[in-house]
């Protein structure tokens, strides 16, 4: 294991400003560092406790010190990601995802109603005729709310899947039972924030597994979980972003390029930032596998110093002690 003082010495804390509010934030903070194999990222969201956040550090160390597996493809198709914006804002959001034929739409946002969700999804359907539609509730509905909302959404057109409609695995299983095949259910938080990611398979709670590199502890860990879930329950696998910087997104693209499911990955999130640590150009709805090495100019433009830097360095030390 790399020495923590070496990581601290290499650490750069950054704050990437965002075009729209996403996951309740308008700037994305993360810590990045360079190692012998490249750059790694440590960016667990502030509300995550150290035991959970330690996996994010494990993923960053893998990228920077161990290197990533060799992918089987050179690029991956991605979905457009539509935050909980108004229906009128949808065309502007979709314009940042040229060539994408799948869209994932945030629903169940606090302070909004089902009517807002229905209008947002309808606007995406109108702007992307014939495209595949996914919705993501981030566990924001009860079982009854999810059943009603998804029943109304599928009445207007098919859904590729509904991501984490409720918070618990047991609730996902009940919603899946109630919908009886009308809509596939995807598990996100129930995999990446679970002590046992296989519970979704054991309880028949999901048709699709959303896997993310940083929360699961690295690309190799993602591939292991994906293989186990497919073998146990025959689930489809979608690799998604944890709102990563361009550094972390590089690892996500590699993971998606190692999986042959062919699902559009949820990795097209770079367009939400007005400044980043590199570029992953979206061309014809796809991202290419490429390494990002931030320049000093890119780092300096978004670097955080003072109290926030100290907060991240202390967090780094605590999480490193848990590995």
Main-chain phi, psi angles of 26, to 5 degrees: -120, 0
pLDDT tens digits for range 11-23: 999 999 999 887 7
Give the confidence band of 24 by pLDDT, cuts at 50, 70, 90. Answer: confident
The answer to whether residue 238 scores a pLDDT higher than 90 is yes
175-189 pLDDT tens trace: 999 999 999 999 998
Q: Choosing from 104, 106, 224, 230, which is the catalytic residue?
A: 106
Does residue 252 share a domain with residue 274?
yes
Does position 317 have pLDDT exceeding 90, yes or no? Answer: yes
Look at the chain and report how many structural domains it folds into: 2
C-beta separation of 212 from 239 below 8 A: yes
Q: Residue 212 catalytic? A: yes
Binding residues for Mg(2+): 136, 163, 188
Reported residue count of the chain is 323
Same domain, 29 and 81: no
Taking 80 as the threshold, does the pLDDT of residue 261 lie above it? no
Q: Are residues 275 and 312 in the same domain?
A: no
Where is the binding site, in residues? Answer: 136, 163, 188
160 and 302 together in one domain: no
The CA-CA-CA angle for residues 51, 221, 289, to 5°, reads: 120
At 254 the pLDDT is 97
Residues of the domain holding 184: 75-288
Q: Are residues 80 and 48 in the same domain?
A: no
Dump pLDDT digits (tens) for 130-161.
Answer: 999 999 999 999 999 999 999 999 999 999 99
- Is there a single domain that holds both residue 190 and residue 230? yes
* pLDDT above 80 (res 193): no
Based on the fold, state whether residues 146 and 244 are members of the same structural domain: yes
**Same structural domain, 57 and 186:** no
Average pLDDT rounded to a whole number, residues 258-263: 82
Confidence (pTM)? 0.92
**CATH code at position 310:** 3.30.390.10
- Please tell me whether residues 258 and 316 are part of one structural domain: no
The residue from 104, 110, 212, 224 that is catalytic is: 212
Does the pLDDT of residue 233 top 90, yes or no? no
Tell me, what's the pLDDT at 194? 67
- Domain identity same for 233 and 88: yes
User: Distance between CA 190 and CA 11 in Å, rounded?
Assistant: 31
Residues 156 and 105 in one domain: yes
Rounded distance, CA 84 to CA 277, Å?
A: 25
At CA 243, angle to CA 79 and CA 187, rounded to 5? 65
- Do the beta carbons of residue 43 and residue 23 sit within 8 Å? no
Give me the CATH number covering residue 212: 3.20.20.120
User: Is-contact 237 216, C-beta < 8 A?
Assistant: no
Same domain, 238 and 303: no
Average pLDDT, the chain: 95
pLDDT of 260 higher than 80: no
The reply to whether 224 belongs to the active site is: no
């Amino acid at each position: 294991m790399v020495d923590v003082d070496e990581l601290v010495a290499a650490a750069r804390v950054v704050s990437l400003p965002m075009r729209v509010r996403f996951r309740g934030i308008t700037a994305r903070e993360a810590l990045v560092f360079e190692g012998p194999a490249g750059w790694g990222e440590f960016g667990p969201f502030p509300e995550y406790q150290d035991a959970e956040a330690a996996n994010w550090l494990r993923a960053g160390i893998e990228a920077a010190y161990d290197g990533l597996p060799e992918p089987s493809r050179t690029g991956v198709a991605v979905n457009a990601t539509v935050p909980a914006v108004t229906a009128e804002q949808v065309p502007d959001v979709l314009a940042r995802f040229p060539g994408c034929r799948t869209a994932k739409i945030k629903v169940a946002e606090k302070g909004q109603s089902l009517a807002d969700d229905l209008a947002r999804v309808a606007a995406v359907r109108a702007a992307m005729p014939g495209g595949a539609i996914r919705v993501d509730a981030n566990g924001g509905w009860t079982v009854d709310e999810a059943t009603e909302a998804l029943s109304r959404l599928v009445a207007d057109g098919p859904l590729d899947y509904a991501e984490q409609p409720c918070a618990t695995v047991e609730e996902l299983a009940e919603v899946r039972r109630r919908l009886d095949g009308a809509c596939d259910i995807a598990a996100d938080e129930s995999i990446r924030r679970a002590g046992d990611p296989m519970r979704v398979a054991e309880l028949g709670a999901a048709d699709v597994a959303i896997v993310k590199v940083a929360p699961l502890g690295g690309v190799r860990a993602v591939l292991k979980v994906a293989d186990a879930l497919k073998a146990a329950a025959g689930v489809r696998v979608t690799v998604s972003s944890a709102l990563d910087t361009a550094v972390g997104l590089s690892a996500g693209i590699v993971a998606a390029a190692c999986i042959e499911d062919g699902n559009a990955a949820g990795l097209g999130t770079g367009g939400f930032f007005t400044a980043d640590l590199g570029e992953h150009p979206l061309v014809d709805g796809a991202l290419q596998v490429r390494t990002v090495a931030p320049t000093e100019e890119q780092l300096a433009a978004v670097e955080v110093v003072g109290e926030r830097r100290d907060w991240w360095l202390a967090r780094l030390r605590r999480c490193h002690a848990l590995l």
